[in-house]
């Protein structure tokens, strides 16, 4: 490490805990190492610092040298976290851990070794250090640990910027802040809390199975994955217990000027069969309906905002059928090919400094976008003002195409790239104009009301560029208030209530985003992790939870209930923020977490053999316990001869008959037979019907 004895410099810096003045990088008197969070950021930073930069390579990794005599500045980068928390200790609870280079302990992070070697080498040659990672708590930790282990905290600064725009970068390096210890401490605190909870509960689960069977099975639990698993479990149970109920929709067929159209009863669906048929016959007695209201509303619909990663994942799932992980992977590939901007962003805003015109111009050279771009420039008369969304990201703008020409893209890469380009073009386009026609018609004697509606795209605007939200048009005849319309017929259709739809991966992602667990970059991988653990599995129609997944949720709900709720994330956020603002010390927060975990572990350990049997039985690796009497169900008995889920189904099936028979006159046996033949009947309910209720009826006869 650089040995310094320069008095002037120490006066300039003061003690690191107290100094508060901003320092220009150009006022420093020795070699400087600037640490960026990723290679692309390093290049942008180097370009902002000087026109005369020398690009060098360490192995395959580029770094930059700026000679501004007498100063030398090196700009190099990490590749995200180069350090990770680690322990040598086996068993649990475990509270001793330290920061170690990720490449040493994690096989799939081998590639980070060269990044660390380069930073270490440059750090030895330098006297000053600038943490220029993304300005958020993770960036603060990433840069800090490199400085701590390879540089010198006492001669270190923080560069603060919220975009990689030339002028902003330049300014931030002309007024470097002291190292941001508050952010670092809160970041370290977040890492430790996640580690303590995640590692310990995971080890406890694995240990339970090992003690019960001698088998090593990889299980896991964590602040993000466990509430997510619980969400899928709850949905799956709800579907499994779903008991469809009959309901009735009433429509009238109408005729005006030779055109047939249909109006819907405003109180649809009607629960009771007899009420529906009474309404039908009384409406039939009236020969016509009277128009009570007819409105045409023209609405201007703004373009959708530019993509952040989750919006891209939703749209790619809906339009292209891509899983969130697939979308993320392809977006990262496009980013590395310099075809799109940084994809792991939450922002729905484009930087005002971006040269929209230049990007559009470059896009128009890509054969399929030429026509779209010239249409856009015509329609907007060249005034390019993008629509923005609400969501922001401290470190990155929304996703946009760079305008570089794609070469040798795969079909999937093209499809995603096309979506991104179209969405980008559409944000500049005019609003769409859509007219909604709505009529209300009243039966004169009974006052029953019916409605019908039409929709027409008057002017496509942005929908011409991004057509995936264009409504399909539907027309109804023009009507006048007070007008009589002839009734052709009245139709009553019997249908059944619908279960909540089966989840797809993207629905899980949406839920995670809505409750704010995980981050842009981690949600899709964490969903995949639940599959890897065999907690979830894929079926043709969507995601299904396994018996193991249900068992893990039951055990964690019983012994570590905090971990099944997104409230733990909220609690962490509060603590991490209190550390950031200096209200609490990291050490105290961690001590508190340890004592909570210790107490919970004692409760777990008291029941570890039962837990081990439960998890092992769900895995199918033990068999010597009393099982639920539903054939094929390997869950342990909960009440009488049934597991907890089949017992719930048994109760639900009987309860639902009351409501069913109120709606429609049906014998219990008919009810059972009808439920059995319907696809929407929950699997648990179906099991109980097939194996108990129908069997019992047959035996009675």
Partner DNA sequence: GCAAGGTC
Binding residues (CB under 7 A) for DNA: these are: 37-40, 79-82, 84-87, 90-91, 102, 109, 111-112, 134, 136, 138, 142, 190-191, 194-195, 198-199, 202-203, 206-207, 218-226, 335-336, 344, 395, 517-522, 525-526, 529
Q: At closest approach, how far in Å is the CB of 338 from DNA?
A: 11
- Cβ proximity to DNA: between 187 and 305 the closer is 187
How far apart CA 701 and CA 699 sit, in angstroms, is 5
Q: Is 508 exposed, middle or buried (0-12, 13-18, 19+ CB in 10 A)?
A: buried
Smallest Cα–Cα separation from 520: which of 392, 433, 417, 358?
Answer: 392
Catalytic residue chosen out of the listed positions 63, 74, 294, 342: 342
- Cβ proximity to DNA: between 178 and 227 the closer is 227
- The contacts of residue 595 (CB under 8 Å, 6+ apart) are none
Q: At closest approach, how far in Å is the CB of 548 from DNA?
A: 14
Smallest Cα–Cα separation from 270: which of 493, 79, 116?
Answer: 493
Q: At closest approach, how far in Å is the CB of 93 from DNA?
A: 11
- Cβ proximity to DNA: between 204 and 675 the closer is 204
How far apart CA 596 and CA 22 sit, in angstroms, is 42
How far apart CA 439 and CA 296 sit, in angstroms, is 9
- Cβ proximity to DNA: between 215 and 385 the closer is 215
In the sheet with 61-68, reading across from the earlier edge strand, the strands are 53-58, 61-68, 71-77, 32-36, 128-132, 156-158, 177-178
- Give the CA distances from residue 263 to residues 252, 272, 441, 492, 635, in Å, rounded to whole numbers and listed in that order: 5, 20, 8, 12, 50
Smallest Cα–Cα separation from 135: which of 183, 100, 90?
Answer: 183
Q: At closest approach, how far in Å is the CB of 641 from DNA?
A: 35
- Cβ proximity to DNA: between 241 and 548 the closer is 548
Are the C-beta atoms of residues 419 and 336 closer than 8 Å to each other?
no
135 is catalytic: no
Q: At closest approach, how far in Å is the CB of 597 from DNA?
A: 13
How would DSSP label each residue in 185-225? HHHHHHHHHHHHHHHHHHHHHHHHHHHHHS--------TTH
Q: At closest approach, how far in Å is the CB of 332 from DNA?
A: 7
Q: At closest approach, how far in Å is the CB of 281 from DNA?
A: 59
Longest dimension (CA), the chain: 103
Tokens of 601: 């572990």
How far apart CA 8 and CA 151 sit, in angstroms, is 20
Smallest Cα–Cα separation from 579: which of 159, 185, 61, 197?
Answer: 185
- Cβ proximity to DNA: between 191 and 510 the closer is 191
How far apart CA 463 and CA 465 sit, in angstroms, is 5
- Cβ proximity to DNA: between 277 and 522 the closer is 522
Helix (H) or strand (E) holding 659: helix 644-663
Neighbours of 2 (CB within 10 A): 16
Are the C-beta atoms of residues 466 and 423 closer than 8 Å to each other?
yes
- Cβ proximity to DNA: between 223 and 239 the closer is 223
Q: At closest approach, how far in Å is the CB of 79 from DNA?
A: 4
Is the previous residue joined to 269 through a cis bond, with omega within 30 degrees of 0? yes
The residues carrying an active-site annotation are: 342
């Amino acid at each position: 490490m650089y040995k310094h004895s320069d008095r002037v410099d120490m006066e300039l810096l003061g003690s690191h805990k107290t100094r508060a003045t901003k320092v220009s990088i150009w006022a420093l008197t020795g070699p400087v190492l600037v640490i960026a969070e990723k290679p692309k950021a390093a290049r942008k930073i180097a370009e902002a610092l000087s026109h005369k930069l020398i690009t060098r390579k360490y192995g395959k990794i580029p770094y930059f040298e700026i000679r501004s005599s007498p100063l030398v500045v090196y700009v190099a980068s990490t590749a995200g976290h180069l350090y990770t928390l680690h322990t040598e200790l086996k068993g649990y609870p475990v509270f001793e851990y330290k920061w170690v280079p990720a490449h040493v302990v994690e096989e799939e992070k081998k590639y980070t070794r060269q990044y660390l070697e380069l930073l270490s080498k440059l750090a030895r040659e330098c006297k000053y250090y600038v943490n220029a990672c993304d300005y958020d708590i993770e960036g603060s930790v990433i840069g800090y640990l490199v400085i701590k282990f390879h540089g010198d905290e006492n001669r270190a600064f923080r560069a603060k910027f919220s975009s990689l725009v030339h002028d902003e970068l330049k300014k931030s390096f002309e007024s470097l802040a002291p190292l941001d210890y508050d952010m670092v401490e809160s970041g370290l605190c977040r890492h430790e809390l996640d580690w303590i909870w995640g590692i310990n509960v995971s080890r406890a689960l694995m240990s339970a199975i090992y003690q019960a069977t001698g088998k090593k099975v990889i299980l896991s639990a964590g602040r993000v994955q466990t509430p997510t698993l619980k969400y899928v479990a709850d949905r799956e149970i709800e579907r499994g217990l779903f008991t469809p109920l009959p309901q009735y929709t009433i429509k009238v067929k109408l005729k005006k000027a030779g055109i047939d159209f249909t109006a819907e009863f405003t109180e649809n669906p009607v629960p009771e069969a007899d009420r529906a048929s009474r309404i039908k016959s009384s409406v039939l007695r009236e020969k016509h309906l009277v128009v009570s209201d007819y409105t045409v509303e023209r609405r201007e619909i703004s373009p959708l905002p530019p993509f952040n990663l989750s919006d891209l994942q939703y749209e790619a799932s809906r339009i292209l059928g891509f899983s969130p992980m697939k979308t993320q992977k392809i977006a990262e590939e496009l980013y590395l090919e310099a075809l799109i901007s940084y994809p792991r962003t939450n922002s729905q805003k484009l930087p005002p400094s971006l040269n929209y015109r230049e990007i559009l111009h470059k896009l128009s050279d890509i054969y399929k976008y030429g026509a779209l771009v010239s249409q856009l420039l015509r329609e907007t008369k060249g005034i390019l003002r993008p629509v923005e969304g609400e969501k922001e990201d401290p470190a990155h703008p929304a996703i946009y195409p760079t305008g570089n020409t794609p070469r040798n893209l795969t079909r999937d890469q093209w499809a995603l790239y096309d979506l991104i380009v179209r969405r980008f073009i559409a944000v500049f386009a005019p609003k769409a104009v859509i007219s909604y026609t709505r009529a209300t018609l009243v039966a004169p004697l009974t006052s029953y009301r019916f409605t019908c509606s039409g929709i027409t795209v008057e002017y496509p605007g942005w929908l011409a560029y991004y057509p995936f939200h264009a409504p399909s048009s539907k027309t109804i005849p023009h009507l006048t208030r007070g007008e009589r319309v002839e009734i052709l017929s009245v139709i009553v259709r019997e249908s059944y209530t619908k279960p909540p739809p089966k989840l797809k991966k993207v629905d899980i992602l949406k839920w995670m985003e809505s409750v704010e667990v995980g981050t842009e970059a981690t949600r899709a991988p964490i969903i995949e992790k639940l599959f890897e653990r065999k907690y979830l599995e894929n079926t043709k129609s969507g995601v299904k939870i396994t018996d193991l997944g249900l068992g893990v949720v039951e055990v964690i709900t019983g012994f570590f209930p905090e971990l099944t709720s997104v409230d733990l994330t909220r609690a962490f956020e509060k603590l991490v923020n209190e550390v950031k603002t200096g209200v609490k010390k990291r050490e105290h927060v961690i001590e508190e977490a340890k004592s909570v975990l210790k107490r919970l572990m004692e409760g777990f350990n008291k029941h570890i053999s039962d837990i081990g049997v439960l998890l092992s039985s769900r895995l199918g690796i033990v068999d010597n316990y009393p099982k639920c009497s539903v054939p094929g169900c390997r869950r342990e008995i909960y009440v009488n001869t049934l597991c907890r889920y089949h017992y719930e189904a048994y109760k639900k099936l009987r309860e639902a008959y009351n409501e069913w028979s109120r709606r429609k006159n049906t014998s219990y046996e008919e009810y059972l037979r009808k439920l059995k033949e319907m696809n929407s009947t929950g699997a648990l309910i179906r099991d109980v019907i097939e194996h108990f209720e129908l069997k019992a009826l047959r035996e009675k006869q």
